[in-house]
Amino acid sequence: MTDYLDIYKDEIDCDAIRELRKEPTRIMNSKGNKPLLELIEQLPALKFEDNDFTKKAVRFGQKEDLTESQRTELKEQLKQLIPWRKGPFDIAGIEMDTEWRSDYKWDMLEGYLPDMKGQRICDIGANSGYYMYRMLADEPEFILGLDPTVKYFLQFQALQKLTAENCLHYDAFGMEHLTHFPKFFDTIFCMGILYHHPDPVGMLRIMNQSMRSGGDIIIESQAIPGDDHVALFPDDTYALVKGTYFVPTANCLINWLKKAKFVDIEFFHSHPMSSNDQRKTEWMPFRSYEDFVNEETGLTVEGYPAPIRIYLRAKKKA
């Protein structure tokens, strides 16, 4: 696949991006990750043509594309990349039931998504790339996934070996590196990630600056219930997750978007979290929602209000 730096070399800071790539490459080639990198190289390049990105479980190929022994071998290879958190996927009959039912979140966005045909899109916190594959159904020009977690980058690389050539690209960067893409994206997705940054308003400003005039931002976030314009700032962990900084109310997040110069802000959905949409599975056998939150008391294990999920969209001023 052609490196997107060669396609958009006159519009983005290619030298800075190439420099940023050195650290994830070093991490992937380190002793601990080298076996996983070798696993990706050993995966068969199946490049299925018959895919369906409109289904709740993104489908690569058909069951008859693999023999039972091939399917068993491929499943064992993919399970070496656990935890698989965002999905689900159907890989030639392999049902990958991930920790998150990300299709539930995607369903919440239906009716609120912009027309993405021919657009340049960024998926921040892309994880395995589930949402990126769902976007393909709209025929965008270019989709870039950003996520600094090397394991998720490798999961995406594994999935890309299973499907025909597409417009998806991925770098193991954080959202702060959007500074290298000035006025570049038509649409940004920020799904389940903003509360993991100590400066959410600063990050929203960076996103705004990386967007074209009139562009759209779609945000899905963990939040706390209530109408006050406040955010919870947990002590050490929130629902046993380190690296959680500000957990806002919907009104607080709306104010953040205003301060980041977004307009036409719409808060269009919220729902309580539960073990129906985040749970242990064969593909993510570690602790999950039921271990973090007491669903009877409505409190996290630390005693904080249990999280809800909120959905908003906004625009960069034209």
pLDDT in tens, 178-235: 999 999 999 999 999 999 999 999 999 999 999 999 999 999 999 999 999 999 999 9
Under DSSP, the state recorded for 179 is G
Q: What is the pLDDT of residue 216?
A: 98
- φ, ψ of residue 42 to 5 degrees: the values are -85, -15
Taking the C-alpha atoms of residue 20 and residue 18, their distance in angstroms, rounded to an integer, is: 5
Residue whose token pair is 């999961």: 155
Which residue positions in the chain have pLDDT lower than 70?
none
DSSP annotation string for 73-106: HHHHHHHTT----EE-EEETTEEE--SEEHHHHH
Left if phi > 0, otherwise alpha if psi is -120 to 50, otherwise beta: which for 42?
alpha
Taking the C-alpha atoms of residue 163 and residue 34, their distance in angstroms, rounded to an integer, is: 24
Taking the C-alpha atoms of residue 222 and residue 34, their distance in angstroms, rounded to an integer, is: 34
Taking the C-alpha atoms of residue 86 and residue 297, their distance in angstroms, rounded to an integer, is: 27
Q: What is the pLDDT of residue 31?
A: 85
Annotated domain spans of the chain: 7-283+299-316
CATH number of 7-283+299-316: 3.40.50.150
Q: Is the dihedral of CA 34, 152, 200, 304 positive or negative?
A: negative
Q: What is the pLDDT of residue 295?
A: 82
The residue among 230, 234, 264, 233 whose CA lies nearest residue 250 is 230
Q: What is the pLDDT of residue 32?
A: 86
Q: What is the pLDDT of residue 293?
A: 94
Q: What is the pLDDT of residues 268-285, one digit of tens each?
A: 999 999 999 999 999 999
Q: What is the pLDDT of residue 60?
A: 98
Taking the C-alpha atoms of residue 260 and residue 47, their distance in angstroms, rounded to an integer, is: 41
